[in-house]
Structure 1
Amino acid sequence: MSLKNRDEHNRWRSKTVAFRVSPEEDAQIERYVQLSGLTKQDYITRRLTHKDVVVQGNPRVFKALRNQLTEVLLELQRIESGSVVNDELLDLIEMIADILGGMKEEFE
Protein backbone atom coordinates (compact mmCIF):
# COMPACT_ATOMS: atom_id res chain seq x y z
CA MET A 1 0.00 0.00 0.00
CA SER A 2 1.46 3.30 -1.04
CA LEU A 3 1.07 6.54 0.86
CA LYS A 4 -0.06 8.37 -2.27
CA ASN A 5 -3.37 6.47 -2.06
CA ARG A 6 -4.11 7.84 1.41
CA ASP A 7 -5.52 11.23 2.29
CA GLU A 8 -4.26 13.69 4.93
CA HIS A 9 -6.17 11.74 7.59
CA ASN A 10 -4.45 8.48 6.55
CA ARG A 11 -7.70 7.11 5.08
CA TRP A 12 -7.31 4.60 2.29
CA ARG A 13 -8.54 6.00 -1.03
CA SER A 14 -10.07 2.96 -2.64
CA LYS A 15 -13.00 4.50 -4.55
CA THR A 16 -12.80 5.92 -8.06
CA VAL A 17 -15.00 8.82 -9.13
CA ALA A 18 -15.25 9.70 -12.80
CA PHE A 19 -17.31 12.19 -14.76
CA ARG A 20 -17.41 13.74 -18.21
CA VAL A 21 -16.58 17.35 -19.03
CA SER A 22 -16.42 19.35 -22.24
CA PRO A 23 -13.00 20.22 -23.74
CA GLU A 24 -13.50 23.81 -22.54
CA GLU A 25 -14.33 22.68 -19.00
CA ASP A 26 -11.30 20.37 -19.04
CA ALA A 27 -9.03 23.25 -20.07
CA GLN A 28 -10.45 25.42 -17.29
CA ILE A 29 -9.97 22.68 -14.68
CA GLU A 30 -6.39 22.12 -15.90
CA ARG A 31 -5.64 25.86 -15.57
CA TYR A 32 -6.98 25.95 -12.03
CA VAL A 33 -5.05 22.81 -11.07
CA GLN A 34 -1.81 24.28 -12.46
CA LEU A 35 -2.36 27.55 -10.62
CA SER A 36 -3.10 25.76 -7.35
CA GLY A 37 0.10 23.70 -7.32
CA LEU A 38 -1.93 20.67 -6.20
CA THR A 39 -2.52 17.39 -7.95
CA LYS A 40 -5.74 17.22 -9.95
CA GLN A 41 -7.11 14.68 -7.47
CA ASP A 42 -6.38 16.88 -4.45
CA TYR A 43 -7.70 20.02 -6.15
CA ILE A 44 -10.99 18.45 -7.23
CA THR A 45 -11.46 16.69 -3.88
CA ARG A 46 -10.94 19.94 -1.97
CA ARG A 47 -13.30 21.88 -4.22
CA LEU A 48 -16.03 19.24 -4.02
CA THR A 49 -15.78 18.99 -0.23
CA HIS A 50 -15.84 22.81 0.16
CA LYS A 51 -12.36 22.95 1.67
CA ASP A 52 -10.07 25.88 1.02
CA VAL A 53 -7.58 25.51 -1.80
CA VAL A 54 -4.46 27.11 -0.37
CA VAL A 55 -1.83 27.88 -2.98
CA GLN A 56 1.74 27.35 -1.85
CA GLY A 57 4.14 29.42 -3.91
CA ASN A 58 6.77 27.35 -5.68
CA PRO A 59 8.51 27.57 -9.07
CA ARG A 60 5.81 25.47 -10.75
CA VAL A 61 3.03 27.78 -9.49
CA PHE A 62 4.96 30.91 -10.48
CA LYS A 63 5.49 29.49 -13.98
CA ALA A 64 1.77 28.66 -14.27
CA LEU A 65 0.90 32.19 -13.11
CA ARG A 66 3.25 33.70 -15.68
CA ASN A 67 1.81 31.56 -18.47
CA GLN A 68 -1.78 32.29 -17.50
CA LEU A 69 -1.11 36.03 -17.21
CA THR A 70 0.37 35.93 -20.72
CA GLU A 71 -2.82 34.26 -21.99
CA VAL A 72 -4.95 36.84 -20.14
CA LEU A 73 -2.96 39.67 -21.73
CA LEU A 74 -3.48 38.21 -25.21
CA GLU A 75 -7.20 37.81 -24.52
CA LEU A 76 -7.48 41.38 -23.24
CA GLN A 77 -5.71 42.65 -26.34
CA ARG A 78 -8.21 40.71 -28.46
CA ILE A 79 -11.10 42.18 -26.47
CA GLU A 80 -9.71 45.68 -26.91
CA SER A 81 -10.38 45.32 -30.61
CA GLY A 82 -14.11 45.07 -29.92
CA SER A 83 -14.67 41.40 -29.06
CA VAL A 84 -16.84 40.17 -26.20
CA VAL A 85 -15.45 39.13 -22.78
CA ASN A 86 -16.30 35.54 -21.90
CA ASP A 87 -17.12 34.30 -18.41
CA GLU A 88 -14.20 31.85 -18.34
CA LEU A 89 -11.71 34.70 -18.78
CA LEU A 90 -13.33 36.64 -15.96
CA ASP A 91 -13.20 33.56 -13.70
CA LEU A 92 -9.52 33.06 -14.54
CA ILE A 93 -8.69 36.71 -13.82
CA GLU A 94 -10.53 36.46 -10.50
CA MET A 95 -8.61 33.33 -9.50
CA ILE A 96 -5.24 34.89 -10.44
CA ALA A 97 -6.16 38.03 -8.46
CA ASP A 98 -7.04 35.89 -5.43
CA ILE A 99 -3.74 34.02 -5.65
CA LEU A 100 -1.71 37.19 -6.03
CA GLY A 101 -3.68 38.87 -3.22
CA GLY A 102 -2.93 35.93 -0.92
CA MET A 103 0.75 36.06 -1.82
CA LYS A 104 0.81 39.78 -1.06
CA GLU A 105 -0.66 39.16 2.41
CA GLU A 106 2.04 36.56 3.13
CA PHE A 107 4.84 39.01 2.38
CA GLU A 108 3.40 41.87 4.47
Structure 2
Amino acid sequence: MFRSKSSRETMRQMAKRTEKERLDKLKKKEKNRKRPNTIAFRMSDEERRLFEDRVTMSGLLKQDFIIQSLLFSNVQFLGSTIAIKKIEERLVEIEMMIRSVLKKKELDSVLVEELSTIIELMQNKSL
Protein backbone atom coordinates (compact mmCIF):
# COMPACT_ATOMS: atom_id res chain seq x y z
CA MET A 1 0.00 0.00 0.00
CA PHE A 2 1.41 3.37 -1.01
CA ARG A 3 0.96 6.48 1.04
CA SER A 4 0.76 10.00 -0.20
CA LYS A 5 3.70 12.33 0.21
CA SER A 6 1.88 14.40 2.83
CA SER A 7 1.06 11.37 4.99
CA ARG A 8 4.73 10.25 4.83
CA GLU A 9 5.82 13.72 5.93
CA THR A 10 3.32 13.65 8.76
CA MET A 11 4.59 10.24 9.89
CA ARG A 12 8.21 11.49 9.77
CA GLN A 13 7.29 14.53 11.83
CA MET A 14 5.50 12.34 14.37
CA ALA A 15 8.51 10.02 14.57
CA LYS A 16 10.86 12.97 15.07
CA ARG A 17 8.61 14.45 17.73
CA THR A 18 8.32 11.10 19.51
CA GLU A 19 12.09 10.66 19.42
CA LYS A 20 12.60 14.21 20.70
CA GLU A 21 10.14 13.61 23.55
CA ARG A 22 11.95 10.39 24.45
CA LEU A 23 15.33 12.15 24.50
CA ASP A 24 13.90 15.00 26.57
CA LYS A 25 12.56 12.50 29.12
CA LEU A 26 15.96 10.78 29.30
CA LYS A 27 17.74 14.09 29.84
CA LYS A 28 15.28 15.07 32.56
CA LYS A 29 15.66 11.69 34.22
CA GLU A 30 19.46 12.00 34.18
CA LYS A 31 19.25 15.48 35.73
CA ASN A 32 17.14 14.21 38.63
CA ARG A 33 19.24 11.11 39.19
CA LYS A 34 20.95 11.06 42.54
CA ARG A 35 23.35 8.22 41.78
CA PRO A 36 24.80 8.72 38.32
CA ASN A 37 27.84 6.44 38.79
CA THR A 38 27.90 2.76 37.87
CA ILE A 39 30.22 0.13 39.34
CA ALA A 40 30.32 -3.38 37.93
CA PHE A 41 32.09 -6.56 39.02
CA ARG A 42 32.10 -10.27 38.25
CA MET A 43 31.08 -13.22 40.44
CA SER A 44 31.14 -16.97 40.18
CA ASP A 45 27.81 -18.83 40.08
CA GLU A 46 28.21 -19.85 43.73
CA GLU A 47 29.09 -16.29 44.83
CA ARG A 48 26.08 -14.95 42.97
CA ARG A 49 23.77 -17.48 44.59
CA LEU A 50 25.06 -16.54 48.05
CA PHE A 51 24.77 -12.87 47.20
CA GLU A 52 21.18 -13.24 45.99
CA ASP A 53 20.30 -15.16 49.19
CA ARG A 54 21.75 -12.45 51.40
CA VAL A 55 19.99 -9.69 49.47
CA THR A 56 16.67 -11.53 49.77
CA MET A 57 17.13 -12.08 53.50
CA SER A 58 18.08 -8.43 54.06
CA GLY A 59 14.88 -7.11 52.49
CA LEU A 60 16.89 -4.36 50.79
CA LEU A 61 17.25 -3.54 47.13
CA LYS A 62 20.42 -4.98 45.60
CA GLN A 63 21.83 -1.51 45.12
CA ASP A 64 21.21 -0.53 48.76
CA PHE A 65 22.55 -3.86 50.01
CA ILE A 66 25.80 -3.42 48.06
CA ILE A 67 26.25 0.18 49.17
CA GLN A 68 25.69 -0.70 52.82
CA SER A 69 27.96 -3.72 52.56
CA LEU A 70 30.76 -1.72 51.00
CA LEU A 71 30.53 1.36 53.19
CA PHE A 72 29.53 0.03 56.60
CA SER A 73 31.12 -3.37 57.03
CA ASN A 74 34.53 -4.27 58.41
CA VAL A 75 36.92 -5.26 55.68
CA GLN A 76 40.32 -6.74 56.30
CA PHE A 77 42.84 -4.82 54.26
CA LEU A 78 45.90 -6.72 53.20
CA GLY A 79 48.96 -4.56 53.61
CA SER A 80 51.19 -4.60 50.58
CA THR A 81 53.92 -2.23 49.55
CA ILE A 82 51.64 -0.86 46.84
CA ALA A 83 48.80 -0.23 49.32
CA ILE A 84 51.13 1.39 51.83
CA LYS A 85 52.62 3.61 49.12
CA LYS A 86 49.13 4.74 48.02
CA ILE A 87 48.16 5.51 51.62
CA GLU A 88 51.37 7.50 52.10
CA GLU A 89 50.65 9.48 48.93
CA ARG A 90 47.10 10.16 50.09
CA LEU A 91 48.33 11.21 53.53
CA VAL A 92 50.63 13.77 51.92
CA GLU A 93 47.65 15.13 49.94
CA ILE A 94 45.53 15.22 53.11
CA GLU A 95 48.30 17.01 54.99
CA MET A 96 48.34 19.70 52.30
CA MET A 97 44.53 19.97 52.51
CA ILE A 98 44.66 20.26 56.31
CA ARG A 99 47.23 23.03 56.07
CA SER A 100 44.98 24.96 53.66
CA VAL A 101 41.93 24.26 55.84
CA LEU A 102 43.71 25.62 58.89
CA LYS A 103 44.25 28.83 56.98
CA LYS A 104 40.56 29.00 55.94
CA LYS A 105 39.22 27.58 59.23
CA GLU A 106 36.74 25.16 57.60
CA LEU A 107 36.94 21.36 57.26
CA ASP A 108 35.64 19.34 54.29
CA SER A 109 33.38 16.38 55.22
CA VAL A 110 35.05 14.12 52.61
CA LEU A 111 38.43 14.85 54.16
CA VAL A 112 37.11 14.02 57.62
CA GLU A 113 35.72 10.72 56.31
CA GLU A 114 39.06 9.81 54.69
CA LEU A 115 40.93 10.66 57.86
CA SER A 116 38.63 8.54 60.02
CA THR A 117 39.04 5.60 57.61
CA ILE A 118 42.83 5.86 57.76
CA ILE A 119 42.76 6.15 61.55
CA GLU A 120 40.50 3.08 61.74
CA LEU A 121 42.91 1.12 59.54
CA MET A 122 45.85 2.13 61.66
CA GLN A 123 44.04 1.23 64.91
CA ASN A 124 43.14 -2.19 63.55
CA LYS A 125 46.77 -2.63 62.56
CA SER A 126 45.66 -4.29 59.37
CA LEU A 127 48.51 -2.67 57.45
Choose the corresponding residue for 2:78, options 34, 53, 56: 56
Work out the number of aligned pairs and report it.
75
Larger-Rg structure: 2
RMSD between superposed Cα atoms in Å = 3.3
SS in 1 for 2:95: helix
Following TM superposition, by how much is the alpha carbon of 1:54 offset from its aligned partner in structure 2, in angstroms? 1.4
Identity across matched positions, percent: 15
Task: Give ranges in structure 1 of 5+ residues lacking alignment.
Answer: 19-42
Following TM superposition, by how much is the alpha carbon of 1:91 offset from its aligned partner in structure 2, in angstroms? 0.5
Amino acid aligned to 2:88:
R
Choose the corresponding residue for 2:70, options 47, 60, 68: 47
Task: Give ranges in structure 2 of 5+ residues lacking alignment.
Answer: 1-41, 53-61
2-structure distance, mates of 1:82, 1:56: 36
2-structure distance, mates of 1:84, 1:45: 29
Following TM superposition, by how much is the alpha carbon of 1:51 offset from its aligned partner in structure 2, in angstroms? 3.8
Deviation sequence 1:24-62 (CA, Å, 0-9, x none): xxxxxxxxxxxxxxxxxxx968426x5421111111210
* Contact map agreement 1:46 1:53 (CA 8 A) in 2: no
Amino acid aligned to 2:70:
R
Find the counterpart in structure 2 of residue 86 from structure 1: 108
2-structure distance, mates of 1:75, 1:85: 9
Give the number of the structure with larger relative contact order, counting CA–CA contacts within 8 Å between residues 6 or more apart. 2
Find the counterpart in structure 1 of residue 99 from structure 2: 77
Q: Which has the higher helix share?
A: 2
Find the counterpart in structure 2 of residue 11 from structure 1: 47
TM-score normalized by the length of structure 1: 0.52
Find the counterpart in structure 2 of residue 40 from structure 1: none
* Residues 47 and 61 of structure 1: CA distance in aligned 2, closer, same or farther (over 3 Å): same
